[in-house]
Structure 1
Amino acid sequence: MTVLLVALLLLLWPGPGSEGGRVLVCPVDGSHWLHMQVLVKELHARGHQVTVLRSSTSWYILENSPHYTSITVQQDTQQSIESAETMSRFLHRSLELRKERGPLSFLAFYSNFFDMLSETYGTVAELARTLLTDRALMQKLQEARFDLVLTDPALPIGAMVAHYLQLPLVLNVRWVLSMDVHFAIAPSPLSYIPQVLSTNTDRMDFLQRLSNVLYHGLSLYIHHFITNPPFQAMCQEVFPPGINALSLIQAADLWLVRVDFVFEFPRPVMPNLVYVGGFHCRPAQPLPPELEDFMQSSGEHGVVLMSLGTFVRGLQPHISEVIASAFARLPQKVVWRHLGQRPSTLGNNTLLLDWLPQNDLLGHPKTRAFVTHGGTNGIYEAIYHAVPVLGLPLIFDQMDNMVRMEARGAGIVLDVMALEVDSLTQALRDILDEQKPYRDNMRRLSRLHRDRPIEPLDSALFWIEFVMRHGGAGHLRTESYRMPWYAYHNLDVLALLLGSAVTLLLLIGATCRCLCQRLCRTRKVKLQ
């Protein structure tokens, strides 16, 4: 009886995370919301009250949900990243420019990229202005007495809200404005840390290091002249002088980084970076009966899964025809998330769907390979379920992701604009061949990814609640972001040391010259 009473008391005893807190979430729409939603659901399940700030034009973020209370901010113009049609046009234009060669097409490609970024960040800055200048709404948020703000700093509006409300800030992060998260907070030597868009690995020869520096310069250009200016104007309007969007992000208490070094290249880190790559992955759930029947009908050959993410509303018809022809040559069955015109070369072995349960299909025992655009969410699901990948990267960081998979020996990368039926068929056969190293390498990555003392989702939740319990985590945060760039790199110290050395050398030279002149005069006097 005593043992039962003690057990009951232990069950009822309030643990450190059992008292619910209030969390304000400022998410980014599209695929970024898919993993933020995982955190929102888990926070709700643990008894926390979650409020989500959303735009009236949101694509994925629903106004009504059992897991959170939403506050909708009116927005007249839809953000580019929230519009499937706009992103599809941007993608097709980018692919057309990639097909062309030469410096003019290169400049046109980045001009198209810059225009999309400028439109997106300009629209988000207007949303931030609407939000932060709404005194009634901001008063409502202050009176709600939130414990922290959880945001994705790919768009800095959440960091601005947190600073306005003077709340602890936790970031669910992969990208910061125009740069990889580490370039914003951690030492990042360009000699072995590849810059985004460079397609380099951590083993670079001289020319690759040169290109890495040039791409870093491109990143700085994007930040200073495209992504930051609209938010800088917003900061000057709302906050005291000396505050900019990047510094607000760098002041975050904690960074939940969607990275696992099983996939990412090793690099210097900081104490307030918590690595939770793959936290959205989960064991496969049963498939709908008709889809399960199709998977089982593949027999010993298994199934190839293809999905190019949420932004792709349909590839150009000639690309789809090439892919369909290559699939038709395989003995495997194929499940293809495809939107748009049905390819005329489609084989009987291929099932077209406008939506599919990607994680559950990747975890199915019949799945043999994954044809993907290289999005981070899908890559981690493939690693989790040990499915080798064939990458057809399209835009943004997808090529960099696939470079990492290829460097790990767990995937093959093809240029989607140079696809031919024979080369694609051969690449698929190589990925599917058990004698090739791709499947074994991916199984090894999966074992490493799963072999950890705590699950990444549990780690993320622990640290969010840690910030709630302690009102922040300032003891983990470096203050380097407050330093001017010349002080951060010790250029002022180097200038002083160099100036002192030059001055000393000049003094020694002048002294020697005076001594020599005096010695010469003394000799002349003696000779006379």
Structure 2
Amino acid sequence: MSLHPMCGVFVLLSICLISFTTPCYGGNILVFPVDGSHWINMKVLVEELHARGHNITVVRSSNSWYIAEKSPLYTSFTVQIKENLEEFFGKYLKNHLKMEREGASALTFLKLTKDFISMVSEGHFLWCEAISEIFDDPNRVKSLIDAQYDLVLTDPAVSAGVVLAKYLKLPLVLNVRWIPSGEGHFAVAPSPLSYIPVPGSGLTDKMDFMQRIKNLFFHSIIVLQQKFVVGPHYNALCDKYIEGGCDVFSLLQEADIWLFRSDFVFDFPRPTMPNIVYIGGFQCKPAQPLPADLEQFVQSAGEHGVIIMTLGTLVNALPAEVAEEIASVFAKMPQKVIWRHKGERPSTLGNNTLIVDWMPQKDLLGHPQTKVFVAHGGTNGVQEAIYHGVPVLGIPLFFDQYDNLLRLQERGAGKIILLADVNSQTFEQALKEVLHQESYRQNIERLSRLHRDQPIAPMDRAVFWVEYVMRHKGAPHLCTEAYKMPWYSYYCVDVMVFLLSAAAVLLLSTLAIFRFLCCSRKRKTKDKQH
């Protein structure tokens, strides 16, 4: 029986489509995110994994700020957190901003530092306590085991998910920039302090002697924080529930893949490892059309363009006097201004300034009318500014924000103005500099071209490596054995001691032989004389 010619064509086309279609490795993924702005990053990755056919379960706290209990993207696994840190965190931020603005005595600074350390310690303790309750509940443990997850995807800034992966004996993928003790590279990659700036130091990769001393000092603080503030909570959890015991730092080092939310367009060049995959800017997408009313406002700016300002998800409002100063400067500008501000409406606000509770930040950054981005320097905002090629005037407030903005400033793509220095004169001068000096836009556009010039999009790279770990049940062949070595072996101290000892023995033996020969010769000479 002969086939109709059209049937043959159909079969051929079907074979071609099957051959060129990317295979889908649908799996079960347990996601353990960190709340707040970190969830924004994780949610973008969750959305993509869900779109590619994976089943997602998200571990969330009962009093989560941003992670919804019900979602079409995932099934939630809710754990009970006994306290709500949001109010405590808000109070700390308010006091921190006040100190940044007004200055503080040494006593006030120490108190605020103590409060911060206490807040960090309490947050990690609460999560460890919540995970302990899961481990002590046979039904919940059984539900996790019966789900037959292929891997755990977690943000290790809170490392409870790292311990959970070890307990369930699952491969581990980190969506990471920060770990409890600081920047993630320092846990897994060689990090010479001579040219790798420690977070919080405010340094670049070009350091003089005094700056290297400062860098070492900041590194020592991070080591002490890990050892005495954060580490003990997780280590106690490991000792109680993980067979043979362990410590959380070693668990981080054992992670199969580090999806690192950075790249070397943004960060300073440094040593890395084969299981670190750089996905900086993976959340960035081409701009979508603005809502009609916002588009009308933006277009009304004409040739002068638009300035946008936001201080991220954590800070609703600047101190009132700072907001008044900034508003008065905006009122003088020929540009239109869109300002995300939830505080009291400044009395100096001009007709050219639109105050909003929320803004489509990515779409505004990608709009051709946007001229300058006034921002606090969060990682997401900085990477989106690079992606869309918009120069940044940064007002860093806390955490990693100064370091992020410093990387832009070092490359001539942004300018930093400290909160303590903000007044109508300094802010206007800085804003006009970024607006009118063409070098800022040229440099940020150069960074944008570099960032976009990649063989694989950062999101595709991230998903590939998640699926890679699922396909191969882990990636231990990419993990270095260095973390299993004691420090004296890692730095070859034992080899140097052995070689120095051997050289010393050889030298002393040679001297002893010469001394013996000389003494023997003298004795023979004396014997002849007698």
The normalised TM-score by structure 1 is 0.94
Structure 2 CA distance for partners of 1:515 and 1:264, relative to 1, 3 Å = same
Verify: 1:409 aligned to 2:412, yes or no.
Answer: yes
Structure 2 CA distance for partners of 1:527 and 1:142, relative to 1, 3 Å = same
- Kept in 2, the 8 Å contact 1:253–1:476? The answer is yes
For 2:326, the equivalent position in structure 1 comes to: 323
Structure 2 CA distance for partners of 1:13 and 1:23, relative to 1, 3 Å = farther
Structure 2 CA distance for partners of 1:124 and 1:517, relative to 1, 3 Å = farther
Within the candidate set 339, 343, 347, 1:340 is matched to 343
Q: What does the per-residue CA deviation read over 1:42-101, in whole Å, with 9 as the maximum and x for residues that have no partner?
A: 1111111111111111111111000111111122113x3xx1x33332222223444436
Verify: 1:380 aligned to 2:383, yes or no.
Answer: yes
Residue 242 of structure 1 and its aligned partner are, at CA, apart by 4.3
For 1:116, the equivalent position in structure 2 comes to: 119
Verify: 1:20 aligned to 2:8, yes or no.
Answer: no
Verify: 1:197 aligned to 2:204, yes or no.
Answer: no
Verify: 1:135 aligned to 2:131, yes or no.
Answer: no
Q: What does the per-residue CA deviation read over 1:162-193, in whole Å, with 9 as the maximum and x for residues that have no partner?
A: 11111111111111211211111111111111
Q: Tell me how far apart the structure 2 counterparts of residues 125 and 165 of structure 1 sit (CA, whole Å).
A: 16
Within the candidate set 444, 447, 457, 2:446 is matched to 444
Structure 2 CA distance for partners of 1:329 and 1:498, relative to 1, 3 Å = farther
Within the candidate set 214, 218, 221, 1:218 is matched to 221
For 1:174, the equivalent position in structure 2 comes to: 177
* Aligned residue-pair number: 523
Q: Tell me how far apart the structure 1 counterparts of residues 387 and 43 of structure 2 sit (CA, whole Å).
A: 19
Q: Tell me how far apart the structure 2 counterparts of residues 214 and 453 of structure 1 sit (CA, whole Å).
A: 39
In structure 2, the residue corresponding to 1:437 is in which secondary structure? Answer: helix
For 1:261, the equivalent position in structure 2 comes to: 264
For 2:13, the equivalent position in structure 1 comes to: 7
Q: How do 1:220-239 residues align onto structure 2 when only pairs under 5 Å count?
A: 220-239=223-242
- Kept in 2, the 8 Å contact 1:339–1:354? The answer is yes
Residue 225 of structure 1 and its aligned partner are, at CA, apart by 1.0
Q: How do 1:71-82 residues align onto structure 2 when only pairs under 5 Å count?
A: 71-78=77-84, 80=85
Verify: 1:147 aligned to 2:153, yes or no.
Answer: no
For 1:487, the equivalent position in structure 2 comes to: 489
Residue 505 of structure 1 and its aligned partner are, at CA, apart by 3.6
Residue 501 of structure 1 and its aligned partner are, at CA, apart by 3.0
Q: Tell me how far apart the structure 1 counterparts of residues 417 and 162 of structure 2 sit (CA, whole Å).
A: 38
- Kept in 1, the 8 Å contact 2:97–2:319? The answer is no
- Kept in 1, the 8 Å contact 2:82–2:126? The answer is no
Structure 2 CA distance for partners of 1:152 and 1:438, relative to 1, 3 Å = same
Structure 2 CA distance for partners of 1:216 and 1:19, relative to 1, 3 Å = closer
In structure 2, the residue corresponding to 1:35 is in which secondary structure? Answer: helix
Tell me the amino acid that sits aligned with residue 465 of structure 2.
Answer: W
In structure 2, the residue corresponding to 1:352 is in which secondary structure? Answer: strand
Tell me the amino acid that sits aligned with residue 477 of structure 1.
Answer: C
Q: Tell me how far apart the structure 1 counterparts of residues 178 and 506 of structure 2 sit (CA, whole Å).
A: 47
Q: Tell me how far apart the structure 1 counterparts of residues 370 and 141 of structure 2 sit (CA, whole Å).
A: 49
Q: Which is worse superposed, 276-285 or 101-110?
A: 101-110
Q: Tell me how far apart the structure 1 counterparts of residues 33 and 125 of structure 2 sit (CA, whole Å).
A: 17
For 1:396, the equivalent position in structure 2 comes to: 399
Tell me the amino acid that sits aligned with residue 503 of structure 1.
Answer: V
Verify: 1:100 aligned to 2:106, yes or no.
Answer: no
Tell me the amino acid that sits aligned with residue 459 of structure 2.
Answer: L
Q: Tell me how far apart the structure 1 counterparts of residues 260 and 135 of structure 2 sit (CA, whole Å).
A: 27
- Kept in 1, the 8 Å contact 2:377–2:402? The answer is yes
For 1:30, the equivalent position in structure 2 comes to: 36
Residue 11 of structure 1 and its aligned partner are, at CA, apart by 3.3
Residue 449 of structure 1 and its aligned partner are, at CA, apart by 0.6
Q: What does the per-residue CA deviation read over 1:217-258, in whole Å, with 9 as the maximum and x for residues that have no partner?
A: 111111111111111111111113441111111111111111
Q: How do 1:241-390 residues align onto structure 2 when only pairs under 5 Å count?
A: 241-390=244-393
Q: Tell me how far apart the structure 2 counterparts of residues 320 and 404 of structure 1 sit (CA, whole Å).
A: 26
- Kept in 2, the 8 Å contact 1:309–1:373? The answer is yes
Verify: 1:431 aligned to 2:437, yes or no.
Answer: no
Q: Tell me how far apart the structure 1 counterparts of residues 175 and 441 of structure 2 sit (CA, whole Å).
A: 31
Q: Tell me how far apart the structure 2 counterparts of residues 527 and 123 of structure 1 sit (CA, whole Å).
A: 91
Q: Tell me how far apart the structure 2 counterparts of residues 210 and 102 of structure 1 sit (CA, whole Å).
A: 25
Structure 2 CA distance for partners of 1:147 and 1:346, relative to 1, 3 Å = same
Q: What does the per-residue CA deviation read over 1:279-335, in whole Å, with 9 as the maximum and x for residues that have no partner?
A: 000111122222112111111111111111111122211221222122122111111
Calculate percent identity across the aligned residue pairs: 52
Residue 454 of structure 1 and its aligned partner are, at CA, apart by 1.0
- Kept in 2, the 8 Å contact 1:94–1:112? The answer is no
For 2:463, the equivalent position in structure 1 comes to: 461
- Kept in 1, the 8 Å contact 2:151–2:470? The answer is yes
Q: What does the per-residue CA deviation read over 1:83-141, in whole Å, with 9 as the maximum and x for residues that have no partner?
A: 1x333322222234444367556544533332222122122221221223222111111
In structure 1, the residue corresponding to 2:59 is in which secondary structure? Answer: strand
For 1:53, the equivalent position in structure 2 comes to: 59
- Kept in 2, the 8 Å contact 1:173–1:258? The answer is yes
Q: Which is worse superposed, 459-468 or 97-106?
A: 97-106
